[in-house]
Amino acid sequence: MGKQESSNKLVRLGVQQDHNTKTLGLLWDVGKDELGFDTTMPRVTPEVQKGQRVPMKREALKVVISVYDPLEVALTASKVKVAPLRPLSIPILELQTAVISCRLADLVRSEHRLQPISTTYWTDSHTVIQWIQSDARMYKPLVAHRLGEIDERTKIDEWKWLPSTLNVVEDAT
């Protein structure tokens, strides 16, 4: 095994605590369990950094291109559930997926200091969208309880429908 890092204190016993390591192109402070960026400009000559010389167009463009890195964060998670004793219908399973999505979004928000401006939940189930947009008290307890949790954790306008052909989750199945 090559390099190994962990933010768990028990795993790090005997390992240098105060250091940064590079992870996914970012600097990870293992002790604080925080991601950061290196903002130094090693490609800029010292004269330009000190303001003794104006950079040429090519130098300026080289720096801009080296700094521009379209950073994208994608959260990937999975949950394996034990098969129920009584088989559930596809719409109920889709509804359960919506509940898990809400819980996961709450977990992510609770773990970060910076909060998202907005959250969008996507589903390819027309039934789930209709259920979310209606009154949960109209349904049997199984559906009503799940809709109640979704209603507590999200807003109706945060839910969007997309066709199954465009749902990237379907690629995994």
Cβ atoms of 96 and 142 within 8 Å: the answer is no
Q: Looking at residue 24, what is its pLDDT? A: 64
Q: In one letter, which amino acid is 103?
A: R
The two tokens of residue 60 are 């300026």
Sheet strand arrangement including 34-36: 20-23, 26-29, 34-36
- Does residue 31 sit within a domain? yes
Q: Looking at residue 2, what is its pLDDT? A: 47
- Does residue 79 sit within a domain? no
- Does residue 99 sit within a domain? yes
- Does residue 72 sit within a domain? no
Helix or strand or coil: residue 72?
coil
* C-alpha–C-alpha distance, residues 166 and 130, integer Å: 20
Q: Please report, in tens digits, the pLDDT of each residue of the chain (173 residues total).
A: 445 555 555 554 555 556 677 666 677 777 777 777 777 777 778 888 888 888 888 887 777 776 665 555 555 666 666 777 888 899 999 999 999 999 999 988 888 888 888 999 999 999 999 999 999 999 999 999 999 999 999 999 999 999 888 877 666 55
Expressed as residue numbers, the domain containing 44 is: 22-67
106 and 57 within one domain = no
103 and 39 within one domain = no
- Tally of domains in the chain: 2
103 and 40 within one domain = no
